Amino acid sequence: MSYFLGLDPGYARLGYGVIAASGTALQYVTHGVIETSPEQKDGERLVTLDASLTELLSLYPIEGATIEQIFLKKNLTTGIKVSQARGVVLLGLARKKINCSEVSPTALKKMLTGSGTAGKKQMQEMIRRMLKLDSIPSPDDAADALALAIAAFLAGKRR
């Protein structure tokens, strides 16, 4: 069994999803969010992300990971903080020597649904179907991370 991790980077909430694969059969393992408190200083929030990610990585023998690319659209301050969180994630994966790919939101949508303009509900339904879940996963950050875990599996098949 091979394990794959998807990460939706965030400063306040970092979404994660873990799936397992045996051949081409995908199996849901876990998903959730790592949250930091706005009362924490910036560095403390990054330490929280690092410690929680390190703990998550110790639970599963992750073979590959995918992280969503970020785009700085409006709020540069928020974008910088998300970039810092993303750096913590990339460092944590590199420490464990986990191969990590990156994917844009549009490419992820196209990969899973066939359309780069798929809506959130369409993506969530596709994740539900692919992982044979009874309901749509939530919260959104974690659901996105499960989609990224599927992308990690697909990237691993291409290597």
* Predicted confidence (pLDDT) per residue in 99-149, tens digit: 999 999 999 999 999 988 998 899 999 999 999 999 999 999 999 999 999
Sign, CA dihedral 107-110-116-118, equals: negative
Identity at 23, one-letter amino acid code: G
Q: Over the range 126-142, which residues count as b (16 or more CB within 10 Å of their CB) and which as e? A: bbbebbeeeeebeebbb
pLDDT beyond 80 at 157: no
Separation of alpha carbons 79 and 117, rounded Å = 23
**56 and 70 in contact (C-beta within 8 Å)?**
no
pLDDT at 79: 79
Q: CATH no. for residue 131?
A: 3.30.420.10
Average confidence score pLDDT of the chain: 92
- Catalytic residue check, 134: no
pLDDT at 77: 66
- Catalytic residue check, 102: no
Q: Give me the catalytic one of 42, 55, 63, 68.
A: 68
- Catalytic residue check, 50: no
* Number of domains composing the chain: 1
Q: Tell me: cis bond preceding 139? Omega within 30 of 0 counts.
A: yes
Q: Give me the catalytic one of 35, 102, 141, 144.
A: 141
DSSP characters for 132-158? T-SS--SSHHHHHHHHHHHHHHHHHHH
pLDDT at 158: 57
Average pLDDT over residues 39-62: 96
The pTM for the full model equals 0.93
Domain residue limits at 104: 2-158
Separation of alpha carbons 38 and 92, rounded Å = 22
> Hey, what's the torsion of the CAs at 65, 66, 72, 73, to 10 degrees?
-150
| Higher local confidence (pLDDT), 81 or 89 | 89
